Amino acid sequence: MTSSQFDFSSWGLESSIAKGISSNGWEKPTEIQREAIPPARKGLDVVGQAKTGSGKTGAFGIPILESCEPLGHPQAIVLCPTRELAVQVAREMESLQGSKGLSIQTVYGGTDLEKQAKKLSKGCDIVVGTPGRVIDMTKRGHLDLERISIFCLDEADRMLDMGFFPDVLWILEKSSSRQQTLLFSATFPEEVLDAAEEFMTDPVHIMSDDMEVEIPEIDQYAIHIGRMNKLWALGRIICNMKDGDQMLIFANTKRMVEILTERLGKFRIRATGLHGDLSQNKREKVIDSFKQGGEEILVATDVAARGLDVDGITHVVNYDLPVDTETYVHRIGRTGRMGRKGVAWSFVTREETSQIEKISSTWSLSIEFTEAPSLPEGMNRDPIGKREDWDEVSDIFGMVKVRVPLGKGDYSKRDLADWIIEQARVPDIAIGEILQNDEETDVEIHVDKVAYVMDVIKAREFNGLSLSAKIVGP
Ligand code: AMP
> Which amino acid is it at 190?
E
User: Which residue, of 324, 354, 369, is where some domain finishes?
Assistant: 369
Same-domain status, 177 and 232:
no
| Residue 388 forms part of a structural domain | no
Tell whether the model's pLDDT for residue 42 goes beyond 60. yes
Q: Are 204 and 368 in contact (CB under 8 A)?
A: no
Instruction: Report pTM.
Output: 0.53
Both 454 and 403 in one domain: the answer is yes
- The answer to whether residue 386 scores a pLDDT higher than 90 is no
Task: Kindly report the CATH number assigned to the domain that includes residue 40.
Answer: 3.40.50.300
What value does the mean pLDDT take over residues 143-171? 90
Burial of 54 (0-12, 13-18, 19+ CB in 10 A): buried
What is the tens place of the pLDDT at every residue in 325-354? 878 888 887 787 655 678 999 999 988 999
Q: Can you tell me which atom of ligand 1 is nearest the CA of 8? A: 19
- Tally of domains in the chain: 3
Question: Is position 214 within any domain?
Answer: no
pLDDT at 208 over 80: no
| Rounded distance from Cα 148 to ligand 1 centre (Å) | 26
Is the pLDDT assigned to residue 98 strictly greater than 80? yes
Output the residue whose Cα is nearest ligand 1's atom 5: 55
**Residue 451, domain extent:** 393-472
**Any idea which of 6-20, 174-188, 355-369 has the lowest mean pLDDT?**
355-369
Residue 406 lies in a domain: yes
Residue 76 pLDDT more than 90? yes
Q: What average pLDDT does range 2-24 have in this prediction?
A: 84
* CA-52 nearest atom, ligand 1: 2
Judged against a pLDDT cut of 70, whether residue 457 lies above it is answered with: yes
**DSSP state letters, 125-167:** SEEEE-HHHHHHHHHTTS---TT--EEEESSHHHHHHTT-HHH
Considering the chain, what is the average pLDDT of its residues? 88
Q: Is residue 346 part of a domain?
A: yes
pLDDT band, very low/low/confident/very high, at 211 (cuts 50, 70, 90): very low
DSSP per-residue string spanning 294-322: S-SEEEE-HHHHTT---TTEEEEEESS--
User: In Å, how far from its chain's centre is CA 217?
Assistant: 15
Q: Based on the domain organization, do 181 and 239 belong to the same domain?
A: no
Say yes or no: 203 and 247 in one domain.
no
Amino acid (one-letter) located at 382: D
Q: Which residue has the higher pLDDT, 210 or 50?
A: 50
| Ligand 1 centroid – CA 303 distance (Å) | 22
φ, ψ at 390 (rounded to 5°): -65, -30
Q: Whose CA is nearest to atom 20 of ligand 1?
A: 26
- Residue 14 backbone class (left: φ over 0; alpha: ψ -120 to 50; beta: rest): beta
> What pLDDT does 394 receive?
82
Are both 202 and 270 inside the same structural domain? Answer: no
User: CATH no. for residue 404?
Assistant: 3.30.70.330
- Protein residue whose Cα sits closest to atom 22 of ligand 1: 26
* Element housing 96 (H / E): helix 83-96
Q: Which protein residue's CA is at the shortest distance from atom 7 of ligand 1? A: 53
The CA-based angle 324-328-331, given to 5 degrees, is 130
pLDDT confidence bin for 474, thresholds 50/70/90: low
Across the range 140-145, mean pLDDT stands at 96
pLDDT computed for residue 212 by the predictor = 44
Q: Name 451's Cβ contacts closer than 8 Å, sequence gap at least 6.
A: 388, 390
Comparing 135-139, 198-202, 373-377, 443-447, the range with the smallest average pLDDT is 198-202
Are residue 342 and residue 416 in the same domain, yes or no?
no
Which residues partner with 403 through β-bridges?
442, 470
Distances (CA, A) of 282 to 92, 208, 262, 263, 271: 21, 37, 17, 21, 15
Domain assignment of residue 385, yes or no:
no
Q: Are 178 and 149 in contact (CB under 8 A)?
A: yes
Residue pair 461/411 in contact by the 8 Å Cβ criterion: no
What confidence category does residue 215 fall into, taking pLDDT thresholds of 50, 70 and 90?
Answer: low
97-100 long-range contacts (CB < 8 A, ≥24 apart) are 97/16, 97/17, 97/20, 97/65, 98/15, 98/16, 98/17, 98/18, 98/19, 98/20, 98/21, 98/23, 99/16, 99/19, 99/20, 100/14, 100/16, 100/17, 100/20, 100/65, 100/70
Measured over the CA atoms of residue 280, residue 281, residue 286 and residue 288, the dihedral's sign is: positive
- Do 200 and 230 share a structural domain? no
Q: What is the secondary structure of 360-373 as a DSSP string?
A: HHHTT---EE-PPP
